[in-house]
Chain A
Amino acid sequence: MSTALNSGHSAILKQNRASRSERLLRALRTPGGAIFILLIVLLAAIIALNPSFGEPGSFIRFIGRTAPIAIAAIGQYFVIVGGEFDLSMGSVVTMQVIIAGNLIRQDDAKVIPVLVLMLVLGAAIGLVNGLITTLLQVPSFIVTLGMMLALLGLVLYWTGGAAQGNPADSFRQIGRGGIQNVPVLDIIPYPVLILTAVAITAFVLMRRPFGRMLIAVGDNPAAAALAGSRVWWVRTRAFIMSSLSATLAGILLVGYAGVHPSVGRGYEFTAITAVVLGGVALGGGRGWVLSAAAGAFALESLFTLLNFMGVQATWRDTVQGAIIIVAVAAASRSWQRKRKGATASAHDEQHQLAATPTPAEGAEQSEQGGERV
């Protein structure tokens, strides 16, 4: 026993004191890391097929147009990692797009007030979703599905289901414009800057107490509650962030595309797919926020690759679906392997050191801890 303990102990030490490159390699073997490899492979394939895509000017534009879905994926990540779903996201995007179109119209003076109104509305929807889910104990799947339908109905009532006029160009600049005449890149679209800001904020937030608590709540709400965290408030804040990110995506989409009731349709599922593709476990408690954003980029790259490969229009959805299923299946297999695999001995021993009498169950718990960001 003591030899096992010693060898186990050294295994942990070895793992924890591994060099940066080794730790990076290990991270890349998790689903949350592998998505970056998949993304690089997809981008390489696109550039191989069509070298001009790799030019800085067109590549930065690609990042710009992917920003809305990446921001939505980051928002959805907060909710999913906290153990819930937000299906109302797409409808929030659509509603905000229509609000921008109908309230601003061609009046530059209304841009700021309407922008504020949109953010307040976004936060309010998230608050309602969160409070009903946590305080009334209605499953979030149902709450946000209901919210999705309610908002869609509102949009239909307001527009009759057809396109309205675009808002003032000054408002659309947020999603369409950029810093001009930049050397090499030619243009830095504002959406790229906004995405960068959102990503940094999310990354920092997940390393602060709120983020740690959110993951703990997603992993085991009962334990988190016993440990003293206010589960309802942590999750409600996640819902608010999700709705706010949908609002932001909507603002960018009005600029990029214009006002149409089909803008934002299916966004919740694209965002959830991106999050899952990024290796975040549905059910919560595991996954990295930046992997969710990378998942969104991988998804968009996949669509672009299919365009360049000349896959027939009627086939495209099927090919997309199949590839996504394979990718997600591979990711979940990889989590499974990891749980049973190479690092098990290190974690087993860690628990023996902590004098845990039941290593089997406990080992897995602690391993999850090692996985988190």
Chain B
Amino acid sequence: MRNNSVRAIALAAALPLVALTACTTEPSVTQTTGAGTGSPGTNGAASSPASKDWFDQALYDTQFKQRSATFEGNPEQPYLQYIAGPMTDTSKYAAKGPKKVCFANASISNPWRQTGWITMNQQLKALQSSGVISGMETRDAKDNDNTQIADIDYFIAEGKCDAFVISPNSTAALTQAVERACQTGKPVVVFDRGVDTKCATTFIHPIGGFAWGIDTATFLSDKLQSGDKVVALRILPGVDVLEHRWAAAKKIFAEKGIQAKDYFTGADPAEIKKIISDELAAGDVKGVWMDAGDGAVAALEAFEDAGKPLPVMTGEDEMSFLTKWKQTGITAMAPVYSNFQWRTPLLALEKIFKGEQIPTEWVLPQKPILADELDSWLQRNQGMPSGHYAKFGGEDLPGYPQVWQQRQMP
């Protein structure tokens, strides 16, 4: 009897451990998908999730060049700009009258996606009042592949959609569902993360993760000496665009002799603070690199609390980071994963219904915010909440600025 209970205790003791590991990995998986990062899946070979080495020289070179490419269109409307390339003829979709759009969204579980979601809804209102779109039915997959596949199949089965907009949760898992949507003969617009099929009418995304990694790591290497230590804060492993950001940065740090140590944080500010505190106890940290800006403020606070000189840092164009950057006067830059891309899918549909040509792969500009532009971006976004993204690109939409200031999820 007693021995049994001892065994029971041992077993019971092991259970929370298993649960503990499950718990430390699982939420991060949710975070992953929530990471608001697109993956140029149709763009290169590096989209295999099983691939251990995320570095892809060809993709790296392409994105390196695209950083300085010329974009077609009006720079005042970056959400409509694109790099010249193959175009899709959409004359067969040309039709009159308002159309119904069905949107399968991966999630709105991080500030980047939330900001984009608000912008998209305001763009929808604009297109509704101009009579292009009758309405948009949205299903939120809450960071779950299976849910999103079911969502897409639901739209197909319902048969009431005139067009599909899909923001895939992950590359490989959603490929077949997107193909099924294509087979309905209706236009399909994929944006942010990609899928392994070219059947979509257009695939909209900013330049990509390697460009982010190149911009940020080059900045840090220029500002620091060879041998200096940089702490790299990463949300989680396994998401291609986040991995691309780090793969590019890691390569550049190694070339420039920067000592970079990477950690997974799950974007948890408490975890970030602990990591930085420990690193500061172990020696000087000269730079902080982030694969997404969520938690940048916590990282800086760790330096403040320890009474250490603030690092050179790369964050993101999230207001919390830009404000803290301004307050502290640190040497920093804000890489941008263009949030205005959330407008583009609906504007692409407007063109499609008119039968105009659109880029098959619609590569949007992705330009970081540097120190000399900081004040103007803060000025343009005055009164915006801390989770807002400076380059949201919705200044000309109805409801600006109140809708973004109140930040109520539609």
Instruction: Closest B residue to A49 by CB, please name it.
Output: B282
Q: Which residues B83-125 have CB closer than 8 A to chain A?
A: 107-111, 113-114
Complex contacts, B376 vs chain A, CB 8 Å: none
Give the segment of A124-132, A208-216, A250-258 that binds chain B.
A250-258
Q: Is B8 an interface residue (CB 8 A)?
A: yes
Given A266-B23, A308-B278, are A162 and B110 also a contact pair (CB < 8 Å)?
yes
Give the distance in Å from the alpha carbon of A314 to the alpha carbon of B237 in the complex.
Answer: 8
Q: Is A272 an interface residue (CB 8 A)?
A: yes
- How many Å from the CB of B308 to the closest CB on chain A? 11
Given A165-B386, A324-B17, are A52 and B273 also a contact pair (CB < 8 Å)?
no
Interchain CB contact (< 8 A) of B16 among A61, A164, A272: A272
Interchain CB contact (< 8 A) of A332 among B10, B270, B301: B10
* CB < 8 Å A-B pair total: 149
Complex contacts, B109 vs chain A, CB 8 Å: 160-162
Interchain CB contact (< 8 A) of B17 among A50, A162, A321: A321
CB pair A332–B6 under 8 Å, yes or no, is yes
Give the distance in Å from the alpha carbon of A304 to the alpha carbon of B271 in the complex.
Answer: 11
Q: Is B385 an interface residue (CB 8 A)?
A: yes
Q: Is A53 an interface residue (CB 8 A)?
A: yes
In the complex, which of the residues B13, B14, B109, B305 has the most CB atoms of chain A within 10 Å of its own CB atom?
B13
Given A50-B281, A270-B20, are A260 and B295 also a contact pair (CB < 8 Å)?
yes
Give the distance in Å from the alpha carbon of A134 to the alpha carbon of B31 in the complex.
Answer: 36
CB pair A335–B267 under 8 Å, yes or no, is no
Q: Which residues B1-57 have CB closer than 8 A to chain A?
A: 2-3, 5-6, 8-10, 12-14, 16-17, 19-21, 23-25, 27, 31, 34
CB pair A276–B16 under 8 Å, yes or no, is yes
Give the distance in Å from the alpha carbon of A303 to the alpha carbon of B273 in the complex.
Answer: 13
Give the distance in Å from the alpha carbon of A339 to the alpha carbon of B3 in the complex.
Answer: 10
Give the distance in Å from the alpha carbon of A61 to the alpha carbon of B277 in the complex.
Answer: 9
Complex contacts, A336 vs chain B, CB 8 Å: 3, 6
Q: Is A263 an interface residue (CB 8 A)?
A: yes
Give the distance in Å from the alpha carbon of A283 to the alpha carbon of B7 in the complex.
Answer: 12
Given A50-B282, A257-B298, A332-B13, are A263 and B269 also a contact pair (CB < 8 Å)?
yes
Q: Is B275 an interface residue (CB 8 A)?
A: yes
Q: Is A262 an interface residue (CB 8 A)?
A: yes
Give the distance in Å from the alpha carbon of A65 to the alpha carbon of B274 in the complex.
Answer: 8
Given A58-B281, A65-B277, A163-B111, are A313 and B264 also a contact pair (CB < 8 Å)?
yes
CB pair B108–A324 under 8 Å, yes or no, is no
Interchain CB contact (< 8 A) of B269 among A50, A260, A266, A320: A260
CB pair A165–B21 under 8 Å, yes or no, is no
Complex contacts, A283 vs chain B, CB 8 Å: 5, 8-9, 12
CB pair B6–A257 under 8 Å, yes or no, is no
CB pair B270–A165 under 8 Å, yes or no, is no
Q: Which residues A114-172 have CB closer than 8 A to chain B?
A: 160-166
Complex contacts, A269 vs chain B, CB 8 Å: 16, 19-20, 23
CB pair B281–A53 under 8 Å, yes or no, is yes
Give the distance in Å from the alpha carbon of A339 to the alpha carbon of B237 in the complex.
Answer: 46
Give the distance in Å from the alpha carbon of A270 to the alpha carbon of B20 in the complex.
Answer: 7
CB pair B266–A262 under 8 Å, yes or no, is yes
Instruction: Closest B residue to A259 by CB, please name it.
Output: B269
Interface string of A292-310 (1 = CB under 8 A from B): 0000000000011001101
- How many Å from the CB of A326 to the closest CB on chain B? 10
Q: Is A245 an interface residue (CB 8 A)?
A: no
Complex contacts, A281 vs chain B, CB 8 Å: 9
User: How many residues of A sit at the interface, in one of the four size bands?
Assistant: 35 or more
CB pair A163–B17 under 8 Å, yes or no, is no
CB pair B281–A52 under 8 Å, yes or no, is yes
CB pair A257–B13 under 8 Å, yes or no, is no
Q: Is A200 an interface residue (CB 8 A)?
A: no
CB pair B24–A317 under 8 Å, yes or no, is yes
Given A61-B305, A256-B270, are A282 and B6 also a contact pair (CB < 8 Å)?
no
Instruction: Closest B residue to A165 by CB, please name it.
Output: B386
Give the distance in Å from the alpha carbon of A365 to the alpha carbon of B2 in the complex.
Answer: 10
Complex contacts, A265 vs chain B, CB 8 Å: 23, 27, 266, 268
Complex contacts, A58 vs chain B, CB 8 Å: 281, 306
Q: Does more than half of chain B's interface fall in helix, strand or loop, or is it mixed?
A: helix
Report the interface size for chain B: residues with CB under 8 A from the other chain.
Answer: 60
Q: Which residues B357-391 have CB closer than 8 A to chain A?
A: 385-387
Complex contacts, B58 vs chain A, CB 8 Å: none
Complex contacts, A331 vs chain B, CB 8 Å: 13
Given A61-B277, A253-B270, are A52 and B282 also a contact pair (CB < 8 Å)?
yes
Given A61-B306, A160-B409, A325-B14, are A317 and B21 also a contact pair (CB < 8 Å)?
yes
Give the distance in Å from the alpha carbon of A176 to the alpha carbon of B297 in the complex.
Answer: 14
Interface string of A48-75 (1 = CB under 8 A from B): 0010110000100110010010000000
- How many Å from the CB of B132 to the closest CB on chain A? 27
Interface string of B385-401 (1 = CB under 8 A from A): 11100000000000000
Given A162-B109, A270-B20, are A329 and B10 also a contact pair (CB < 8 Å)?
yes
Give the distance in Å from the alpha carbon of A303 to the alpha carbon of B2 in the complex.
Answer: 34
Q: Is A273 an interface residue (CB 8 A)?
A: yes
CB pair A263–B281 under 8 Å, yes or no, is no
Complex contacts, A53 vs chain B, CB 8 Å: 281-282
Q: Which residues B244-292 have CB closer than 8 A to chain A?
A: 261-264, 266-270, 272-275, 277-279, 281-282
Given A65-B274, A260-B269, A332-B6, are A160 and B17 also a contact pair (CB < 8 Å)?
no
CB pair A160–B10 under 8 Å, yes or no, is no
- How many Å from the CB of A57 to the closest CB on chain B? 9
Complex contacts, A260 vs chain B, CB 8 Å: 267-269, 294-295
- How many Å from the CB of A54 to the closest CB on chain B? 10
- How many Å from the CB of A13 to the closest CB on chain B? 26
- How many Å from the CB of A148 to the closest CB on chain B? 11
CB pair B263–A321 under 8 Å, yes or no, is no
- How many Å from the CB of B311 to the closest CB on chain A? 18
Complex contacts, B6 vs chain A, CB 8 Å: 332, 335-336, 339
Instruction: Closest B residue to A105 by CB, please name it.
Output: B385
Give the distance in Å from the alpha carbon of A58 to the alpha carbon of B305 in the complex.
Answer: 11
CB pair B268–A161 under 8 Å, yes or no, is no
- How many Å from the CB of B15 to the closest CB on chain A? 9
CB pair B267–A262 under 8 Å, yes or no, is yes
Complex contacts, A317 vs chain B, CB 8 Å: 21, 24-25
Given contacts A65-B273, A160-B108, 13 further A-B contacts (CB under 8 A): A161-B109, A162-B113, A163-B386, A253-B270, A257-B272, A260-B268, A262-B266, A266-B23, A272-B16, A276-B13, A276-B16, A283-B12, A308-B278
A-B contact pairs, 18 of them (CB 8 A): A58-B281, A160-B409, A162-B111, A262-B27, A262-B267, A262-B269, A266-B24, A269-B16, A282-B9, A314-B237, A318-B21, A324-B17, A325-B17, A328-B13, A332-B13, A336-B3, A336-B6, A339-B6
Closest 6 CB pairs of A and B: A161-B109, A257-B269, A257-B270, A266-B23, A269-B20, A262-B268
List B residues at the A interface (Cβ < 8 Å).
2-3, 5-6, 8-10, 12-14, 16-17, 19-21, 23-25, 27, 31, 34, 107-111, 113-114, 234, 237, 261-264, 266-270, 272-275, 277-279, 281-282, 294-295, 297-298, 301, 305-306, 320, 385-387, 409
